[in-house]
DNA sequence: GAGTGGTCTAGACCACAAT
DNA sequence: TTGTGGTCTAGACCACTCT
């Protein structure tokens, strides 16, 4: 990695180092949870100073691509129950306490994508997808009906209904090396249909909060469309703007 | 700023520098929009190296407390129309385009705080507040009814209804040196009351999205409670999780 | 040309974790 | 004791802005 390369790409050295390191994580040269070489070794290998490697790794740590532990090393991020819970699950009770949801799989089907799914996931219409429906409970009470659509060419071997893990992002990562690091959610109000009313123990046409989430993997692929519909009698969707 | 201070507080030098600089921004030694001294000058003044000042300023830039401009200097952040729009206003249309809302002040009253307001803003019940109601239009169509509650001891001189600026955060900053940098929003579903139905041109009991926002200033004071109720026929509340 | 932030380097020492 | 990341410094050079 020479300075000439810098002049060619008009990109600072540390940014080139960062891209290089990200590519190696994407390529699973270093798997989630494993340690990267030390800053000094990476510097020697890439022909830059330790300080330049440090700046690349600091930015990657800020983006949660890696976790740095003093005295131990730098590790590729992995999805833990805690992380997923506190990072992607935004429902809190009236005292701002996060819920620990449980899940009950209602159905798992293979199908062709609808127009809506295709558009959201950037697929050709009629692509093969897997569609999972879940009922989620907060404090043991049915509160969320959720439909998850995943392209079959990304994940083709979901476990049986009975063995489906509560934390899907961890499953994607551990079984397929797909790390969800980013998501966009769009929220609106809808009315419960008969099925949702039945599952949630409410009347038809009761208004629900709909959260539509598109999840993106570390290399930019759209992994999942998740539409959650929930009763906000007791819970709130919480966002911090900073 | 000696190293001994570091040993006393068990805080890295750059973090002490950062706290010091933040305090000077809070105290309006450097007003929003004005330039800080150069890294080198600050280093000399505080008795640390330029690199240590740089690390402090880099973190402050990441937190949007300051803006750094190559070749020009480092400036205290100020609320611009653009910033406020793209940072705090999360409503988009069906093509993910942000709206540019307009506002119409419905009422401005001075009052004692309700239990709800007191709790949200951390006030003693019955504290003096100013309460503003606005109707906000998206693409010229009424879409949001908003009630804003502000402690009178923070802002006591709101302009008349007719002169009320569309961008309140800019007003807080320019007139009172109060910079809103952080907010927490909680979202739920509610039903339109008669007044809301009337203003929004919908029927009573149509479900609305309610966004409750508590805004916090740079020094941690709770500046504003804002409850917005909106029709999500066409718009969506958009969040990026990263 | 002078002044600013941005990048890159090299080296010293500290704090922490494992052996 | 060894190896890791964390902090701090000093100095060089680059890129940008203004006058």
Could you report the per-residue pLDDT of B92-143, keeping only the tens digit for each?
999 999 999 999 999 999 999 999 999 999 999 999 999 999 999 999 999 9
What's the rounded Cα separation, in Å, for the pair A119 and A96? 34
Angle value at C-alpha A142, between A137 and A148, nearest 5 degrees: 70
Give nucleotides in strand D with any atom < 7 A to a protein C-beta.
3-11, 15-18
| pTM, 2 dp | 0.92
| pLDDT band (50, 70, 90) for residue B86 | confident
Strand C–CB B140 distance below 7 A: no
What's the rounded Cα separation, in Å, for the pair A231 and A151? 28
Nearest to A113 by CA among A224, A231, A23, A187: A224
For residue range A145-198, list pLDDT tens digits in order: 999 999 999 999 999 999 999 889 999 999 999 999 999 999 999 999 999 999
What's the rounded Cα separation, in Å, for the pair A212 and A215? 10
What are the Cα distances from residue B90, in Å, to A16, B144, B206, B238? 33, 13, 22, 5
Q: Indicate the residue of A62, A209, A239 with minimum beta-carbon distance to B189.
A: A209
What is the pLDDT at residue B3?
37
What is the pLDDT at residue A4?
36
Nearest to A148 by CA among A186, A108, A100, A182: A108
Q: Indicate the residue of B63, B187, B240 with minimum beta-carbon distance to A209.
A: B187
What's the rounded Cα separation, in Å, for the pair A113 and A224? 12
What is the pLDDT at residue B187?
98
What is the pLDDT at residue A82?
74
B61 CA – D2 C1', rounded, Å: 37
What is the pLDDT at residue A3?
36
* Distance of residue B90 Cα from the nearest chain A Cα, in angstroms: 10
**Which residues lie closer than 8 Å to B115 by C-beta, 6 or more apart?**
B125
Least confident of A25-29, A56-60, A103-107, B166-170: B166-170
For residue range B11-62, list pLDDT tens digits in order: 899 999 999 999 999 999 999 999 999 999 999 999 999 999 999 999 999 9
Q: Do A144 and A230 contact (CB within 8 A), yes or no?
A: yes
What is the pLDDT at residue A9?
43
For residue range B64-82, list pLDDT tens digits in order: 999 999 999 999 999 887 7
| A100 CA to centre of own chain | 17
Radius of gyration of chain B (CA): 21
Q: Is A238 helix (H, G, I), strand (E, B) or coil?
A: strand
What is the pLDDT at residue A84?
74
| pLDDT band (50, 70, 90) for residue B228 | very high
| pLDDT band (50, 70, 90) for residue B182 | very high
For residue range A86-123, list pLDDT tens digits in order: 789 999 999 999 999 999 999 999 999 999 999 999 99
Q: What is the residue-wise DSSP string for B180-222?
A: EEEEEEEEEEEE--HHHHHHHTS-TT-EEEEEEEEEEETTS-E
**Tokens 């980013």 belong to which residue?**
A182
What's the rounded Cα separation, in Å, for the pair A229 and A238? 15
Q: Do A155 and A132 contact (CB within 8 A), yes or no?
A: no
Residues 71-110 of B with CB under 7 A from strand C: 71-74
* Distance of residue B60 Cα from the nearest chain A Cα, in angstroms: 13
Q: What percent of chain B has pLDDT over 90?
A: 90
| B2 CA to centre of own chain | 35
Q: Indicate the residue of A87, A187, A236 with minimum beta-carbon distance to B241.
A: A87
Say if the Cβ atoms of A63 and B88 lie within 8 Å.
Answer: no
Which residues of B touch chain A, with CB atoms under 8 Å apart? Answer: 62-64, 87-88, 90, 92, 181-189, 191, 207-209, 232, 235-242
Say if the Cβ atoms of A239 and B239 lie within 8 Å.
Answer: yes
- Say if residue B156's pLDDT is above 80: yes
The greatest distance separating any two alpha carbons of chain B, rounded to the nearest whole angstrom, comes to 68
CA pseudo-torsion sign B94, B99, A217, A147 = negative
Q: What percent of chain A has pLDDT over 70?
A: 96
- Say if residue B212's pLDDT is above 60: yes
According to DSSP, the residues that pair with A184 across neighbouring strands are A214, B240
Other CB atoms closer than 10 Å to residue A188's CB: what's the count? 21
For residue range A2-44, list pLDDT tens digits in order: 333 333 347 899 999 999 999 999 999 999 999 999 999 999 9
| pLDDT band (50, 70, 90) for residue B7 | very low
Say if the Cβ atoms of B241 and A189 lie within 8 Å.
Answer: no
Counting beta carbons within 10 angstroms of the beta carbon of residue B154, is it exposed (0 to 12), middle (13 to 18) or buried (19 or more)? Answer: middle
Radius of gyration of chain A (CA): 21
Say if the Cβ atoms of B182 and A63 lie within 8 Å.
Answer: no
Q: What average pLDDT is seen over chain B?
A: 93
Question: What is the chain A residue with the closest CA to B205?
Answer: A207
Any idea what DSSP says for residue A37?
P
Strand C–CB B51 distance below 7 A: yes
Q: Do B98 and B92 contact (CB within 8 A), yes or no?
A: yes
Q: Which residues of B touch A184 (CB under 8 A)?
A: 238-241
The greatest distance separating any two alpha carbons of chain A, rounded to the nearest whole angstrom, comes to 68
Counting beta carbons within 10 angstroms of the beta carbon of residue A76, is it exposed (0 to 12), middle (13 to 18) or buried (19 or more)? Answer: buried
């Amino acid at each position: 990695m020479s300075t000439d390369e810098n002049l060619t790409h008009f990109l600072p050295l540390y940014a080139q180092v960062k891209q290089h390191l990200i590519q190696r994580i994407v390529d699973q040269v270093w798997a989630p949870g494993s340690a990267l070489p030390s800053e000094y070794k990476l510097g020697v290998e890439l022909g830059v100073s330790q300080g330049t490697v440090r700046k690349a790794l600091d930015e990657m740590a800020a983006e949660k691509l890696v976790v740095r532990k003093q005295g131990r090393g730098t590790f590729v991020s992995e999805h833990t129950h805690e992380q997923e819970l506190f990072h992607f699950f935004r429902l809190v009770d009236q005292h701002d306490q996060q819920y620990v949801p449980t899940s009950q799989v209602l159905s798992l089907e293979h199908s062709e994508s609808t127009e809506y799914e295709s558009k959201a996931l950037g697929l050709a219409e009629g692509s093969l997808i897997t569609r999972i429906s879940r009922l989620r409970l907060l404090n043991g009470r049915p509160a969320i009906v959720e439909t998850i659509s995943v392209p079959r060419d990304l994940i083709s071997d979901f476990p049986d209904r009975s063995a489906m893990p509560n934390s899907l992002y961890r499953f994607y990562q551990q079984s397929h090396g797909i790390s969800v690091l980013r998501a966009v959610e769009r929220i609106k109000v809808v009315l419960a249909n008969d099925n949702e009313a039945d599952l949630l123990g409410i009347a038809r046409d009761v208004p629900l909060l709909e959260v539509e989430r598109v999840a993106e993997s570390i290399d930019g692929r759209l992994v999942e469309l998740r539409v959650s519909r929930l009763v906000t009698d007791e819970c709130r969707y919480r966002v911090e703007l900073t």
